[in-house]
């Protein structure tokens, strides 16, 4: 029996936000090549994940689920081999209920057959959703069942649980063997979506239940969607796409809280600004840091303006002894944010050198606290090094 032990959050790309269930093998092969050519694979985005919609619409009774032969003419084994040949790992999707969220066959009652098929196709990651689940079986039983089925295949398969934080999942997720677990709603390319998730994250005690081998997952990165992509056309949200400043905020916070980094834009349309965000090596190193301490919110000592509820300061200690501080301003106008060193574990008499992880240059010397002006709907992320 083989197991995975994750020492850093998983990174990759997922098909959902761009294609929803409109998958086709030729396009997906193009996407994989494009990701590799642009250096995403080399930067660590190694899981290439199919979301819902790869399945044949109906399951043949008594059999493991099969793939849609029109969408994947050469088959999923061959598709997986292609991904592996490029150097990617192969991610797939299923659901704990009778149907998936998109109405395709779910794995309920077929967990062991499906897990074996995934292993036979060379799958390295399973995202496991929570629609159409039976009402008489506790969610934790269903997620344990698939976790057990995956382990029994003997193939190391990263298990990515997607029950949106229902049933207090943070209290039992580790009993399922899941390596990551969704804690809320789907991400969307809008400011409303990002700011409401940021607000919720600020109220959760992530450090208590997210860390090595089992990471809380606030859903996909939206950087680079730029209003494009199937989920952008759902019509359920009003307003323009989020924009680069918001993409920077989401990416920064996801890196700081040890979130899985799953890109979701169409990489064939990566702009230089998108690449600058998603390939920010200094922030990727923060996400992948060996200490595995998710950022925690710090008390804001002083604000020059009112409306502190829309401003947050987060701190993430790194294994080398530096501390990364993120100042997030969800207001529309600039704000001065100040956070004292004590909540980060330093003393008010300490002096630190700051380095700006977006401007990629030194950002001054601070004593006792860090104070910066942050533009509206934007963030400043600093790496602080204490003078010893
Ligand atoms: C749910 C999940 C999404 C996506 C869809 C697929 O809504 O939360 O991330 O996987 O199902 O149908």
Which ligand 1 atom is nearest residue 102's CA? 12
186's torsion region: left (phi>0), alpha (psi -120 to 50) or beta? beta
The answer as to whether 268 is a domain residue is yes
- The residue range of the domain holding 303 is 296-386
Q: Output the pLDDT for position 235.
A: 64
Asked if residue 95 is part of any domain, the answer here is: yes
Residues 213, 207: Cα–Cα separation, whole Å: 13
248 to 67, 77, 170, 228, 255: CA distances (angstroms): 36, 36, 27, 18, 10
Instruction: Give the per-residue pLDDT at 303.
Output: 62
The answer to whether 129 is a known catalytic residue is: yes
Q: Which two tokens stand for residue 279?
A: 């390939």
Mean pLDDT by 10 residues, the chain (388 residues): 88 98 98 98 98 96 92 98 98 98 97 97 98 97 98 98 96 97 95 92 88 97 94 69 95 98 98 98 98 92 67 96 96 91 95 98 96 95 97
| Domain harbouring 303, CATH code | 2.60.40.1180
> Domain end: 287, 304, 337, which one?
287
2 is a domain residue? no
**Pair (300, 169) in one structural domain:** no
Q: Indicate which atom in ligand 1 lies nearest the CA of residue 220.
A: 9
C-alpha 226/C-alpha 205 separation (Å) is 31
Whether 337 contacts 327, CB under 8 Å: yes
Asked if residue 209 and residue 172 are part of one domain, the reply reads yes
Q: Report the relative pairing of strands 311-317 and 296-298 from DSSP bridges.
A: antiparallel
Q: Please indicate, yes or no, if residue 255 is contained in any of the structural domains.
A: yes
Mark whether 334 and 249 lie in a shared domain.
Answer: no
d(CA 330, CA 245): 11
Cα 56 to averaged position of ligand 1 atoms, centre (Å): 17
Helices (H), the chain: 16-19, 25-37, 40-43, 76-86, 111-121, 139-153, 173-176, 191-203, 206-209, 244-256, 272-278, 281-287
Report if residue 239 sits inside a domain: yes
Domains contained in the chain, number: 2
According to the model, what pLDDT value does residue 61 have?
Answer: 85
CATH of the domain at 114: 3.20.20.70
DSSP 8-state assignment for residue 167: G
Q: How many CB atoms lie within 10 A of CB 7?
A: 9
Q: Name the nearest CA neighbour of 207 among 287, 313, 324, 294.
A: 294
Let me know if residue 41 belongs to a domain: yes
Mutation choice for ligand 1 from 49, 52, 94, 236, CB with most ligand atoms inside 8 A: 52
Whether residues 167 and 223 share a domain: the answer is yes
Does residue 1 sit within a domain? no
For residue 334, how far is its CA from the centre of ligand 1 (angstroms)?
A: 35
- Of these residues, 66, 186, 353, 356, which one is catalytic? 186
Of 247, 265, 287, the position where a domain reaches its end is 287
| Residue 101 CA to ligand 1 centre (angstroms) | 6
Residues with CB under 6 A from ligand 1: 16, 51-52, 100-102, 129, 162, 186
CA distance 98 to 82: 30
Same domain, yes or no, for 27 and 141? yes
Helix (H, G, I), strand (E, B) or coil at 266: coil
Same domain, 116 and 240: yes
Q: Which residues of 252-275 are buried (b: 16+ CB within 10 A; e: fewer)?
A: bbbbbbbbbbbbbbbbeebeeebb
Angle 343-348-353 from CA coordinates, rounded to 5°: 90
Mutate to test the pocket of ligand 1, among 55, 97, 101, 234 (most ligand atoms within 8 A of CB): 101
> Which tokens hold the place of 266?
């169409």
pLDDT attached to residue 262? 98
186 noted as active-site residue: yes
Structure confidence at residue 319 (pLDDT): 98
**Model confidence pTM above 0.95:** yes
My answer on whether 230 and 174 are in the same domain is: yes
Question: Per DSSP, which regions of the chain are E strands?
Answer: 11-14, 47-49, 89-95, 125-129, 158-161, 180-182, 215-217, 261-263, 296-298, 300-303, 311-317, 323-329, 335-340, 351-356, 361-367, 369-374, 378-386
Distance CA 315, CA 383 (A): 10
**Residue 352: beta bridge partners?**
366, 386
**Based on the domain organization, do 115 and 191 belong to the same domain?**
yes
Are residues 226 and 344 located together in one domain of the fold? no
Domain boundary among 255, 287, 319: 287
Q: Please tell me whether residues 202 and 309 are part of one structural domain.
A: no
Q: Is residue 6 part of a domain?
A: no
CA distance 70 to 20: 16
CA of 20 to the centre of ligand 1 (A): 9
Residue in this structure with the two tokens 């993430």, named with its chain if needed? 316
């Amino acid at each position: 029996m083989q197991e995975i032990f994750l020492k850093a959050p998983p990174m990759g790309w997922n098909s959902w936000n761009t294609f929803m269930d409109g998958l086709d093998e030729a396009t997906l092969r193009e996407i994989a090549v494009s990701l590799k050519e642009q250096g995403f694979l080399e930067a660590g985005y190694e899981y290439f994940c199919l979301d819902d919609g790869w399945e044949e619409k109906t399951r043949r009774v008594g059999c493991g689920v099969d793939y849609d032969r029109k969408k994947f003419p050469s088959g999923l084994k061959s598709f997986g081999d292609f991904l592996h040949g490029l150097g990617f790992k192969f991610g797939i999707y299923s659901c704990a209920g009778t149907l998936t969220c998109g109405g395709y066959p779910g794995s309920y009652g077929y967990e062991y057959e499906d897990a074996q098929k995934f292993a036979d196709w060379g799958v390295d990651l399973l995202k496991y959703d929570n629609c159409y689940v039976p009402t008489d079986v506790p969610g934790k039983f269903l997620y344990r069942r698939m976790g057990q089925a995956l382990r029994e295949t003997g193939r190391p398969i990263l298990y990515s649980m997607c029950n949106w934080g229902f049933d207090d999942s943070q209290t039992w997720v580790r009993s399922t063997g899941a390596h990551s677990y969704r804690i809320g709603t789907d991400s969307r390319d809008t400011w409303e979506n990002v700011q409401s998730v940021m607000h919720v994250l600020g109220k959760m005690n992530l450090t208590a239940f997210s860390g090595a081998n089992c990471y809380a997952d606030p859903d996909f990165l939206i950087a680079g969607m730029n209003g494009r992509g199937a989920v952008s056309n759902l019509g359920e949200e009003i307003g323009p796409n989020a924009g680069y400043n918001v993409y920077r905020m989401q990416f920064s916070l996801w890196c700081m809280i040890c979130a899985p980094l799953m890109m979701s834009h169409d990489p064939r349309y990566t702009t230089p600004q998108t690449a600058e965000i998603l390939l920010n090596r200094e922030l990727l190193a923060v996400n992948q840091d060996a200490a595995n301490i998710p950022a925690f919110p710090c008390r804001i000592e002083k604000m020059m303006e009112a409306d502190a509820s829309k401003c947050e300061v987060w701190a993430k200690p790194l294994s080398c002894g530096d501390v990364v501080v993120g100042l997030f301003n969800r207001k529309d106008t600039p704000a001065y944010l100040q956070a004292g060193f004590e909540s980060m574990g330093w003393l008010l008499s300490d002096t630190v050198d700051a380095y700006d992880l977006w401007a990629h240059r030194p950002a001054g010397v601070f004593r006792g606290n860090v104070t910066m002006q942050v533009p509206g709907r934007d963030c400043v992320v600093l790496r602080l090094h204490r003078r010893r």
